[in-house]
Structure 1
Amino acid sequence: MNQTILYGKDHLTVSLPEDAVLIEPEHVPAMSSPEKGVVDSLQNPIGTPPLKEMVQAGDTVAIVISDITRPTPNDVLVPLLIEELDHVPRENFVIINGTGTHRDQTKAEFISMLGQWVVDNIRIINNHCHEKEELVNLGKSKFGCDVYLNKEYVEADFRIVTGFIEPHFFAGFSGGPKGIMPGIAGIETIMTFHNARMIGDPRSTWGNMEDNPLQEMTREVNNMCLPHFMLNVTLNGAKEITNVFSGDLTQAHEKGCEYAKEHAMVKCEERFDVVITSNSGYPLDQNLYQAVKGMSAAHKIVKENGAIIVAAECADGLPDHGNFARLFSMADTPQELLDMIEDPDFHMFDQWQVQKQAVIQNWADVYVYSKLDAPQIEQAMLKPCPDISETLTDLKQAAGENLSVAVLPLGPLTIPYVDE
């Protein structure tokens, strides 16, 4: 059978065995009028007064957004926020791009993310996690580090965080407090949040919020300088808004996570020999660093010593920022990478993504179909996949006719699991 899977800004058509199992989240149609849905939510939020009543005309307002690696529809959300606060002068607003450890966005990218009017009329800055003069030290975290957040955010009279909610491979769910921590945090704080002990904790996984140490830390940091208002959405596979959650950070995010979990988590009766996954297409499949999320979703249901095939365009390379590529040159095998990263004396940013990837590679072989050339894929200790159907044929010849195959067309927008 032929099956389309998300890839880049379009999709791939893949030829699969007739008995391949298709695993998708429940399809939720887009809101008939997302703009009306957002405005209704801002005027009738969860756990707070209406947004307009909370902001004084003379207030400075910081709006934190997620960066270009996330499909948050900020071109819809941000103009509606500013319109709802039309009693506040435009010069009182600042939009802070929550880059975490990622690269700055260009003006052209901001136009694509926010629209021309916002770029022309509202001041926009990138968070710089390494620039201490752009950060404020808020004190000590119980997790053992100083807490640094973006100075303009901390000093604003009114603070808003935007985002979208989906299952996350180590934080349980995205959105909510993650927009602030690690989105606009300093490198020391981010490194603790992503250290080997936190990432390696079995509670740091898809869909788990109750005792997840990463959620515990991100909530702690947020409480040191709380956003006054949250605006988050959920999206379907076409990146369309399906629901809106706004108001109190904790209450609204909790409601959004419940909604996302209901539609995204899919139970499987058993594991599969091969799992084919996308990385949910653009913008999440821009680079190999982000593609670890698709691998991680597949890891949930692939057999030990099985195979994962991930289709991620990787138009932005491995990427160039950070230490992701460099880390692979520091060991010869995934297990050596894990041993190095789990050494208490070892600290290097981007190690968290490599740690997750190495755990997956110790469980199953990982093949990558992308625009990367074979040496780049091999540099990351992964196996090139020039043709998905041919790779499947090779795996079937090696394993026999009874090879079981599953496909995640939407990648980590679907979180499959097996009760074990």
Structure 2
Amino acid sequence: MEVSLAYGKNGLNVIVPEHTRIVAPNHLELPEDDHELVLQALRNPKGTKPLREMVKSTDRVVIVISDITRPTPNHKLVPWLLEELTHVPIENVTIINGLGTHRDQTREEFIEMLGETIVNTVRIINHHCHEKSELTHLGKSSFGCEVYLNKEYVEADFRIVTGFIEPHFFAGFSGGPKGIMPGIAGIETILTFHNAKMIGHPLATWGVLDKNPLQEMTREVNTFCKPDFLLNVALNGEREITNVFTGELVEAHAIGCAFVKEHAMIKCEKRFDVVITTNAGYPLDQNLYQAVKGMNAAHKIVKQGGTIICAAECIEGMPDHGNFVKILQMRQSPKDLLEMINDPSFHMFDQWEAQRLAMIQEWADVYLYSLLPEESVRTAMLTPSQNIEQTLDDLKAKYGDEMSIAVLPLGPLTIPYVEE
């Protein structure tokens, strides 16, 4: 049968055996008018007054958004927020692009993310986690690090954080407090959040909030300078809004996580020999660093010693910025890489993604179908796939003609699990 995989902007169709298990999110009816749905949520939030009543006309307002590697519909959410804040002069509003450790966005990318009208009328800044002059020190976390957040965020009179909620491969769920921590945190704070002990914790995984150390830390850091209002959405595979969650940070986020868990986490009865996955297409599959999430989703249901085939376009490369490639080149095997990263003396930003990739590779073989040169794929200790159907055919030599196969067409937008 033919299956359509989310790959780049245009998708990828592959032929798989009839007995293949397709694992996709539960279908949700879309709201008739997502604009009205968001406005009503802004006017009827959980745990706070309506947004318009909370903001004074003299307030300096910041709106924190997620960067271009996330499919948050900022081009809708930001204009609709400003619609509720017409009493605030536009020169009083600043949009902060929550990059974490990622690269700056260009003007053209901001237009893609927000629309030209917003880019031409509202002040927008990229967050820089390494620039101490752009950060404010707020104290010390119980997790052992100093807490730094974006200075303009801290000094604002009213703080709004936006985002979308999906299962997250080590924080449990995205959205909520993650928009602030690590979105607009300083590098020292981010490194602790992503250190080897945190990333390797058994409860630092998809769909887990309770006692997940990363979720506990992101919530704690938010208490140092809490956003006044949350606007999060849930999305389907076509990036359409299926629900809206607004109001007090923790309460509204928890409601959103419960909704997403019900619709995006799918139980499987057994593990599979082969799991084909994606990273949900553009913008999530822009580079290999991000594609580790899709591989991690497949890891949840592939047999030990099985095979993961990941289709991720990687139009931006590995990427070229950051330390991901440098870390991968430091050792010759996933086992040795994990040993290096787990050494308490080792600290390098981007180590968390290399750590998770190595953990997956220690469990299963991983093939990658992408635009990356074969040399780059092998640098990451992955096996290139030039044709997914041919790779499947080749794997019959290992698993037999009746090898069990599952497909995650939307990658980490669906999180399968097996109760073991």
Aligned to 1:284, what secondary structure does the other structure show? coil
Gaps of 5+ in 1: none
Aligned length: 420
Match of 1:373 in 2: 373
> What is the rounded CA distance, in whole Å, between the counterparts of 1:41 and 1:122 in structure 2?
23
Residue correspondence of structure 1 range 188-337 to structure 2 within 5 A: 188-337=188-337
Q: Which AA in structure 2 matches 1:230?
A: L
Aligned to 2:371, what secondary structure does the other structure show? coil
> What is the rounded CA distance, in whole Å, between the counterparts of 1:410 and 1:155 in structure 2?
39
Residue correspondence of structure 1 range 336-415 to structure 2 within 5 A: 336-415=336-415
Match of 1:57 in 2: 57
Q: C-alpha offsets along residues 260-287 of structure 1, whole Å, 9 cap, x if unaligned?
A: 0000010011000000011101110000
**Contact 1:274–1:406 (Cα < 8 Å) also in 2:** yes
The CA deviation at 1:401 is 1.6
Q: TM-score under structure 2 normalisation?
A: 0.99
**Contact 1:276–1:309 (Cα < 8 Å) also in 2:** yes
> What is the rounded CA distance, in whole Å, between the counterparts of 2:257 and 2:156 in structure 1?
28
**Contact 1:8–1:282 (Cα < 8 Å) also in 2:** yes
Q: C-alpha offsets along residues 314-341 of structure 1, whole Å, 9 cap, x if unaligned?
A: 0000011110011111000000000000
Q: C-alpha offsets along residues 368-415 of structure 1, whole Å, 9 cap, x if unaligned?
A: 000111101001110000000000000012321221000000100000
Q: TM-score under structure 1 normalisation?
A: 0.99
Match of 2:132 in 1: 132
Q: Which AA in structure 1 matches 2:107?
A: K
Q: Which AA in structure 2 matches 1:372?
A: L
Aligned to 1:53, what secondary structure does the other structure show? helix
> What is the rounded CA distance, in whole Å, between the counterparts of 2:405 and 2:390 in structure 1?
14
> What is the rounded CA distance, in whole Å, between the counterparts of 2:328 and 2:256 in structure 1?
37
> What is the rounded CA distance, in whole Å, between the counterparts of 1:98 and 1:274 in structure 2?
36
**Contact 1:29–1:236 (Cα < 8 Å) also in 2:** no
Q: Percent identity?
A: 66
> What is the rounded CA distance, in whole Å, between the counterparts of 1:6 and 1:379 in structure 2?
25
The CA deviation at 1:11 is 1.0
> What is the rounded CA distance, in whole Å, between the counterparts of 1:250 and 1:400 in structure 2?
49
Q: C-alpha offsets along residues 25-82 of structure 1, whole Å, 9 cap, x if unaligned?
A: 1011332111111100001111111000000010000000000000000000001111
Aligned to 2:338, what secondary structure does the other structure show? helix
Aligned to 2:309, what secondary structure does the other structure show? strand
> What is the rounded CA distance, in whole Å, between the counterparts of 1:405 and 1:257 in structure 2?
29
Aligned to 2:277, what secondary structure does the other structure show? strand
Matched, 1:179 2:202: no
Q: C-alpha offsets along residues 181-228 of structure 1, whole Å, 9 cap, x if unaligned?
A: 000000000000000000000000000001100000000000000000
Match of 2:100 in 1: 100
Gaps of 5+ in 2: none
Q: Which AA in structure 2 matches 1:405?
A: I
Q: C-alpha offsets along residues 244-271 of structure 1, whole Å, 9 cap, x if unaligned?
A: 0011101100000000000001001100
> What is the rounded CA distance, in whole Å, between the counterparts of 2:398 and 2:85 in structure 1?
62
Match of 1:109 in 2: 109
**Contact 1:6–1:278 (Cα < 8 Å) also in 2:** yes
Match of 1:121 in 2: 121
Aligned to 2:4, what secondary structure does the other structure show? strand
> What is the rounded CA distance, in whole Å, between the counterparts of 2:9 and 2:312 in structure 1?
11
> What is the rounded CA distance, in whole Å, between the counterparts of 1:299 and 1:277 in structure 2?
10
**Contact 1:30–1:236 (Cα < 8 Å) also in 2:** no
> What is the rounded CA distance, in whole Å, between the counterparts of 2:63 and 2:29 in structure 1?
28
Aligned alpha-carbon RMSD (Å)? 0.6
**Contact 1:46–1:252 (Cα < 8 Å) also in 2:** yes
> What is the rounded CA distance, in whole Å, between the counterparts of 1:157 and 1:371 in structure 2?
45
Q: C-alpha offsets along residues 140-161 of structure 1, whole Å, 9 cap, x if unaligned?
A: 0011110000000000000000
